[in-house]
Structure 1
Amino acid sequence: MSPDLHNRLLAALDRDDAVELLRGAIGRNSVTGNEASMADYLHGQMQGRGIEDIEVTAFAPGRPNIRGKRSGTGGGKRLLFIGHTDTVHVEGWEQHWAGDIRENPFGAPIVDGEIWGRGAGDLKAGICSSLAALTLLDRAGIRLKGDVEFAFVGDEESGEPGSGVSAGVKAHVARIASGELMRPDFVVYTEPTQLAVYPAQIGFFIADITITGKSAYFGVPELGRDALKASHAVMSALWAHSDEISARAEHPLVGRGFLLITTLNGGGFIAVPERCTLSLIRKLLPGESLDAAAAELESTIRGAIADPEIQVEIAYPAGRDHALGGTATEIDLTHPALALLQESVGQAMDGRGGIEGAPFWSESPFFVNGLGIPAVYCAPGDIRNCHTFEERVSVEEYLAGVVAFAGFIARFCGMEDNN
């Protein structure tokens, strides 16, 4: 952004308002399934910040999405900020921080210049920086030509029973696909990136494998079919398959594909093990087919078992934008919005705004692959401390995100008032 615009935004920034907005959001317990608490908080904040056409719609009983927009004067592009309102659980947090100011996971204390609490980085800092950016534009007297939309959805996080299948974003994109909601020209998903810009992300699937043989007394093992021995052969084949996958290609932003065996269970009696289960996760690169990758996996597993009486079942429990899992995405690195966002972030905070790849899966594929709408991840917060007892976000990084988003909104949507 121009130095004049940047200085104008800095002069208008209300640091206390922005920080209290985030602390209030962290203060709402919105562990997956309890999104209504966060949606209620956002409803009041969105009303108070002049967002129009606010809607609260249920994607499941008692579990709402919330959306709204700020209409421009006309002639500009339409921008969507989206983020998930749910967080992972807080089990063990209080015990970990017992007697410390950080003991309450929803207390949002500021310690050494960082705001602590569950959801601080993942991803309430992103949601709040987008809302505070609109307030900053108002305080700076900047009117927009294009529309800015906000959609805050539930059910992104995994780990809670019957949840974590992206039901919230599925409901939202279905409204866009049907024409009920206008298509944005560009989407910023506010996952934590430490204010890097992520135009590419990995894909994934999880496979649960059950290997069943036949138990027999340990003294006569020849009467049994050893599921644990078969699982050893399967795991050896899978590790070799992972090496093969990694050797195929390296994406410049997200690296190499692989698979990781994450659990193994079997045996338990003084007998030939009848049943063994293992789970794995497969990382995919942009352009890789989930269906083809799963077919390769199944061929590898079944080819490793020599005994035809050993039975194998394979399930894929983590369908997202695909029945088997989540697809990988990337957008054109020459898209003009990328340069605008990079410049806005880089001016707001030195050393930030670089192009990187997402080492995680989140919900931008619903836009990029499903609707053909370019989307990136960008927000304050460090993914490495999210989902842990160390979750926190730097106050200065968060405020830089507010200024960066305000500058990007102004430049992408167009300014009616350039004074």
Structure 2
Amino acid sequence: MAHSDNLSRRLLGALDRDDAINLLRAAIGRESITGNEANFVALLEDEMRARKIDAVHRADFLPGRPNIHGERKGGGGGKRLLFIGHTDTVHVNGWRDYWSGTEREDPFGAPIIDGSIWGRGAGDLKAGICSALAALSLLDRAGIRLKGDVAFAFVGDEESGEPGTGISAGVKAYVAEIEAGAVARPDFTVYVEPTQLAIFTAQIGFLIADIAITGKSAYFGVPELGKDALKASHAVMSALWRHSDELSARAEHDLVGKGFLLITGLTGGGFIAVPEECKLSLIRKLLPGEPLDAAAQEMEAVIRDAIADPEIRVDISYPAGRDHPLGGSAAEIDRNLSDVALLAQSVSDAMSGRGEIKGAPFWSESPFFVNRLGIPAVYCAPGNISNCHTFQEHVEIEEYLAGVMAFATFMARYCGTEN
């Protein structure tokens, strides 16, 4: 770790490595696959109260599925900072078989191996949640009292792998509390998705579309009596691939790259007859500034123009609404904001070479703050997104501890200190 000022040295001297590591291992040990968030929230409630976070409030966003939030009130005169993250993780199907007979066999065992902590949720995103909580305790151990408030919110239903879940129900409920005035509005938000301690000021948007193409079946010997849905789907896919090429050539964002469209699934046919129905699935990546409605309308026009026969029906649905009925909006804040620079400097002070400004190649829930509430939000936390959702999920301990240092430093600098 590299440290540049008295605050960093003071915090480093007060850092309790064992407390921070034990907290993360305990968090991983609480299985919280989407739908079972309450198992992890129970631990968070105990930890938040033990770490003297005030006004801890737990409430179900859906039956049996709670959010939890609280705050540390400052002495007054400082800004309000929010750390938020999701409590749910993806499934562990196949994990035990993959690691059978090794230290990693239990996906919730949180073993320490070669300087890293392993397990489901380690990076996505329990390291981020634990970094924020441990950072507050670090300030307390260092005897640093804040002027501004630090708020914490941990919400469920962000992941989308379990049936009937993954519509951001948790953050919708929390944002509604802010809008209603039940929770104070933050001045700046850090969403603790794993970034390897980079600062993500922009993120992609997306829409997922399911397309059903319905023709008319006919005996294979008289195909002229049918309407071939599979043949029509070929024309649609060809048109969509051309559309994707046009999107990629249209614009490129320096942090999140080019837009495109990816066909992700195809089912159809199966009988010795003219196939009557074919189904396609696709995902469309959007860049900041691209409206979801316009993207969907453009895509639908491409699909319908590709089918010349008016007797072939096309039905299009959007099953993955998030902050928008059709999907998830792209988001971006000014990367030159002084708040962003302050966070980047705090990260760089904690770990040399980190704190770079980048863009998120994923969608998560910052648009609820950036687009809906008009509150600047970034992603920043320890963990590598490339190993999340895989059997390789782990977090390097030194990066995690640097996250604790960085968040504590940022809390002090952003909120101001009384002493």
C-alpha separation between the residues in 1 aligned to 2:233 and 2:293?
23
Letter aligned with residue 332 of structure 1: D
Give the aligned residue type for 2:178.
I
2:146 corresponds in structure 1 to 144
State how 1:156-195 maps to structure 2 within 5 Å: 156-195=158-197
Within 5 A, what are the aligned runs for 1:240-251? 240-251=242-253
- Indicate the residue corresponding to 1:197 in structure 2: 199
**3-state secondary structure, aligned to 2:412:** helix
Once the two structures are TM-superposed, the CA of residue 180 in structure 1 deviates from its matched residue by 1.2
Shift of 1:218: 1.1
Write out per-residue CA displacement over residues 27-77 of structure 1, whole angstroms, 9 at most, x where no aligned residue: 001000000001000001111111111000110000000001000000000
Map 1:334-413 → 2, pairs under 5 A: 334-413=336-415
Equivalent position of 1:11 in the other structure: 13
Write the letter of the residue equivalent to 1:325: G
Q: Distance in 2 between matches of 1:226 and 1:7?
A: 71
Q: Which runs of 4+ in 1 moved over 2 A?
A: none
Give the counterpart letter for 1:231 in structure 2: S
For 1:365 and 1:415, the matched residues in 2 are separated by: 30
CA distance in 2, matches of 1:98, 1:210: 41
TM-superposed deviation, 1:119: 0.2
Please give the secondary structure, in 1, of the residue aligned with 2:92: coil
Of 143-152 and 214-223, more deviation after overlay is shown by 214-223
Segments of structure 2 that go 5 or more residues without pairing to the other structure are: none
**Distance in 2 of aligned mates of 1:333 and 1:199:** 6
User: How far off its partner does 1:216 sit?
Assistant: 1.0
Deviation at 1:2, TM superposition (A): 4.9
For 2:281, the equivalent position in structure 1 comes to 279
Q: Could you say which residue in structure 2 is the equivalent of 1:333?
A: 335
Corresponding position of 1:40: 42
Q: Percent identity?
A: 74
Post-superposition CA distance 1:80-136 (Å, at most 9, x none):
000000000111111111101100000000111110000000000000000000000
Match of 1:308 in 2: 310
The AA in structure 1 aligned to 2:356 is G
| Deviation of 1:219 (Å) | 1.1
Give the aligned partner of residue 109 of structure 2.
107
Secondary structure of the corresponding residue to residue 313 of structure 1: strand
Distance 2:336 2:89 in 1: 33
- CA drift of 1:3 comes to 1.3
Distance 1:273 1:4 in 2: 72
Shift of 1:363: 0.2
Residue in structure 2 matching 1:299, options 276, 298, 301: 301
For 1:286 and 1:292, the matched residues in 2 are separated by: 13
Match of 1:224?
Answer: 226
Match of 2:373, SS state, is coil
Q: CA deviation at 1:392?
A: 0.5
Select the residue among 67, 71, 86 that pairs with 1:84. 86
Distance 1:32 1:220 in 2: 50
Deviations 1:392-415 (A, max 9, x none): 100000000000000000000001
In 2, Cα distance between equivalents of 1:156 and 1:388: 17
> What is the letter of the counterpart of residue 87 of structure 1?
T
> What TM-score results when the alignment is normalised by the length of structure 2?
0.99
Amino acid at match of 2:212: T
| Whole-angstrom CA distance in 2 between matches of 1:273 and 1:384 | 40
The Cα of 1:181 is off from its aligned counterpart by: 1.0
Deviation at 1:279, TM superposition (A): 0.3
1:57 aligns to 2:54 (yes or no): no
What is the rounded CA distance, in whole Å, between the counterparts of 1:237 and 1:151 in structure 2? 44
Determine the C-alpha separation between the residues in 2 that align with 1:163 and 1:371: 24
1:252 is aligned to 2:250:
no
Q: Distance in 1 between matches of 2:163 and 2:221?
A: 42
What letter matches 1:340 in structure 2?
Answer: L
Distance 2:370 2:100 in 1: 43
- What's the CA shift for 1:270? 1.1
SS at 2:372 equivalent: coil
Q: Which residue number in structure 2 is paired with residue 125 of structure 1?
A: 127
Match of 2:319 in 1: 317
Rounded Cα–Cα distance in structure 2 between residues aligned with 1:180 and 1:29: 30
Cα deviation, 1:214-236, whole Å, max 9, x if unaligned, reads: 11111111111110000000000
SS for the counterpart of 1:370 is helix
Give yes or no for the alignment of 1:213 onto 2:215.
Answer: yes
Q: For 1:393 and 1:213, how far apart are their aligned partners in 2?
A: 51
8 A contact 2:215–2:226 mirrored in 1? yes
Residues 329-338 or 315-324, more deviating: 329-338
Partner Cα distance (1:145, 1:37) in 2: 33
Amino acid at match of 2:234: H
TM-aligned CA deviation for residue 344 of structure 1: 0.6
Map of 1:262 onto structure 2: 264
CA distance in 1, matches of 2:280, 2:391: 28
Please, what TM-score do these two structures have when normalized by structure 1? 0.99
Q: AA paired with 2:39?
A: S
Quick one: distance in 1 between partners of 2:371 and 2:245? 28
**Equivalent residues of 2:4, 2:349 under 8 A apart:** no
For the residues of structure 1 that align with 2:193 and 2:288, how far apart are their CA atoms? 19
> Does the 8 Å contact 2:210/2:316 carry over to 1?
yes
Q: How far is 1:309 from its partner?
A: 0.8
Q: Give the number of aligned pairs.
A: 417
